[in-house]
Amino acid sequence: MATGATVGAWALVLSLWGAAAGSRNLTAQIGKPLVLNCKGAPKKPPQQLEWKLNTGRTEAWKVLSPQGGPWDSVARVLPNGSLLLPAIGIQDEGTFRCRAMSQNGKETKSSYQVRVYQIPGKPEIVDPASKLTAGVPNKVGTCVSEGGYPAGTLSWHLDGKPLIPDGKGVSVKEETRRHPETGLFTLRSELMVTPALGGAPHPTFSCSFSPGLPRRRALHTAPIQLSVWASCPFPAPEPVPLEEVQLVVKPESGAVALGGTVTLTCEAPTQPPPQIHWIKDGTPLPLPPSAVLLLSEVGPQDEGTYSCVATHRSHGSQESQAVSISIIETVEEGSTAGSVGGPGLGTLALALGILGGLGIVALLIGIIMWRRWRHQGEKRKAPENQDEEEEERAELNQSEEPEAAESNAGGP
């Protein structure tokens, strides 16, 4: 909290000094280019102007002019007289002044007070408590913000309202570290609370990061809701666990078309009914207790893993099995119109496949029948050929007998 007061005072001093000196206060994001205009400078050479820089990189005023070369990769004067810083860093914070002489001899001065910033990642609450005990100090958790500049501040909220440390029922332990190479800050804030007896049974805590520069939006953590247990002078018996908590999703697969509706129902069979809270991708959803979670007009932001937590005062808490919600890729109507009828294409392919199979079967049957017919034909021809051969053999014998008689008659 003291860090925030220091930053605010420093910003006030800068604004008052800038107003008194006639300079303009500028903020630039670290790593981004920055261009400073030199008022009154001629748009084209020859130009009579000079820039003077007093930053974290210089021990004294650094002078740059169009006639001189660039200052390494830090800054250079553009043809129109403006000063370009290609990638501004923390060491470039400081004062930039330009003095230009117009062609008619009129002198114009420009002055800038430049500060840089870096927005950190979204803060988060690490090591959160599982429950709180009334009447005794409890650690709620530690809020962490990393990679910011300037340092900024962390603050806690209870049920959406600022939680002010009073050193009694609420205390905060803060720690600020700066990276030795990048110069960026890491903030840690540990919250301790003492819930009052008979107070709210389910308080909700959250943490937010406020940048150290004006007109910058705060960043908030996901809220956590805790149950407050009454303190007991004797060891409290272990809570009886709830029966298994069931998470029912419709449609059952958890896959839905873009713009569709998904219904998640958390079933915890106990009386009186427990309080149901919802978790997405490991982070509690900032929703009022409800046994039904309705996701209508589902979009990419709704995809993820969901589970529910049932909390009963006398049975403790139990989390359900997680289910995944995903979006089904659907074929657009225009794409099916250019094809062979969309779903009809599958029916046509099936019919062609059946006809092709029947054709193959008919071909095989035909081949088998032809081979049987040919075999039977060869059997029938075999006796006929045998008779013909016997007749030819008898004719040859008859012709040979007269020839033999004639030869015998003509002999000696």
Q: Say if CB 151 and CB 3 are below 8 A apart.
A: yes
Comparing 260-269, 299-308, 314-323, 376-385, the range with the smallest average pLDDT is 376-385
pLDDT at 43: 78
What the block records as the tokens of 125 is 């609450």
pLDDT at 11: 40
What the block records as the tokens of 150 is 């300037």
Q: pLDDT digits over 177-208, tens only?
A: 999 999 999 999 999 999 988 888 999 999 99
Residues 84 and 136 in one domain: no
pLDDT at 325: 93
| Dihedral angle computed from the Cα positions of residues 135, 140, 142 and 148, in that order, rounded to the nearest 10 degrees | -110
Distance CA(195)–CA(158), nearest Å, equals 12
Distance CA(38)–CA(220), nearest Å, equals 40
Which of 184, 203, 230 finishes a domain? 230
Backbone angles phi, psi at 243, to 5 degrees: -65, 165
Quote the pTM value.
Answer: 0.51
Stretch 50-78: mean pLDDT, rounded? Answer: 88
Q: Which residue has the higher pLDDT, 230 or 257?
A: 257
Q: How many CB atoms lie within 10 A of CB 278?
A: 22
Q: Which residue has the higher pLDDT, 342 or 225?
A: 225
Residues 151 and 222 in one domain: yes
pLDDT at 97: 96
Quick one: pLDDT band at residue 305, thresholds 50, 70, 90?
very high
Residues 207 and 132 in one domain: yes
Distance CA(225)–CA(273), nearest Å, equals 18
Quick one: pLDDT band at residue 342, thresholds 50, 70, 90?
very low
Stretch 23-50: mean pLDDT, rounded? Answer: 88
Residues 97 and 152 in one domain: no
Quick one: pLDDT band at residue 243, thresholds 50, 70, 90?
low
Q: Say if CB 222 and CB 123 are below 8 A apart.
A: no
Residues 220 and 304 in one domain: no
pLDDT at 334: 45
Which of 182, 202, 230 finishes a domain? 230
pLDDT at 7: 40
CA 332-334-335 angle, to 5 degrees, is 70
Does residue 180 lie in a domain region? yes
pLDDT at 244: 80
Residues 221 and 309 in one domain: no
Average pLDDT, the chain: 81
Please give, one letter per residue, the 3-state secondary structure of the chain.
CHHHHHHHHHHHHHHHHHHHHCCEEEEEECCCCEEECCCCCCCCCCCEEEEEEEECCCCCCEEECCCCCCECCCEEECCCCCEEECCCCHHHCEEEEEEEECCCCCEEEEEEEEEEEECCCCCEEECCCCCEECCCCEEEEEEEEEEEECCCEEEEEECCEECCCCCCCEEEEEEEEECCCCCCEEEEEEEEECCCCCCCCCCEEEEEEECCCCCCCCEECCCEECCEECCCCCCCCCCCCCCCCEEEEECCCCEEECCCCEEEEEECCCCCCCEEEEEECCEECCCCCCCEEEECCCCHHHCEEEEEEEEECCCEEEECCCEEEEEECCCCHHHHHCCCCCCHHHHHHHHHHHHHHHHHHHHHHHHHHHHHHHHHHHHHHHHHHHHHHHHHHHHHHHHHHHHHHHHHHCCC
Residues 46 and 108 in one domain: yes
What the block records as the tokens of 233 is 């002078």
Q: Say if CB 149 and CB 53 are below 8 A apart.
A: no
Residues 211 and 148 in one domain: yes
pLDDT at 45: 73
Stretch 368-386: mean pLDDT, rounded? Answer: 68
Does residue 264 lie in a domain region? yes
Residues 256 and 306 in one domain: yes
Q: pLDDT digits over 205-237, tens only?
A: 999 999 877 777 899 999 999 999 986 554 544
Domain housing 271: 246-328
Stretch 276-288: mean pLDDT, rounded? Answer: 91
Distance CA(191)–CA(144), nearest Å, equals 11
pLDDT at residue 286 is higher than 50: yes
pLDDT at 311: 86
Distance CA(326)–CA(311), nearest Å, equals 27
- Of these ranges, 238-252, 270-284, 375-389, the one predicted with the greatest mean pLDDT is 270-284
Q: pLDDT digits over 345-367, tens only?
A: 567 767 787 888 888 888 888 88
pLDDT at residue 96 is higher than 60: yes
Distance CA(275)–CA(272), nearest Å, equals 10
The CATH number covering residue 143 comes to: 2.60.40.10
pLDDT at 397: 59
Does residue 361 lie in a domain region? no
Quick one: pLDDT band at residue 28, thresholds 50, 70, 90?
very high
pLDDT at 391: 61
Does residue 349 lie in a domain region? no
Residue 100 burial class via C-beta count within 10 angstroms: exposed 0-12, middle 13-18, buried 19 and up: buried
Residues 276 and 316 in one domain: yes
CA distance readout (Å), 124 to 143, 204, 278, 304, 357: 6, 15, 18, 19, 64
Q: How many CB atoms lie within 10 A of CB 306?
A: 23
320-323 long-range contacts (CB < 8 A, ≥24 apart) are: 320/245, 320/246, 320/247, 320/266, 321/247, 322/247, 323/247, 323/249, 323/254, 323/264
Residues 113 and 142 in one domain: no
pLDDT at residue 40 is higher than 90: no
Residues 188 and 226 in one domain: yes
Stretch 4-20: mean pLDDT, rounded? Answer: 39
Domains in the chain, number? 3
Question: For the chain, what percent of residues have pLDDT higher than 70?
Answer: 78
Comparing 55-64, 133-142, 335-344, the range with the smallest average pLDDT is 335-344
pLDDT at 312: 78
Backbone angles phi, psi at 390, to 5 degrees: -65, -40
pLDDT at residue 261 is higher than 90: yes
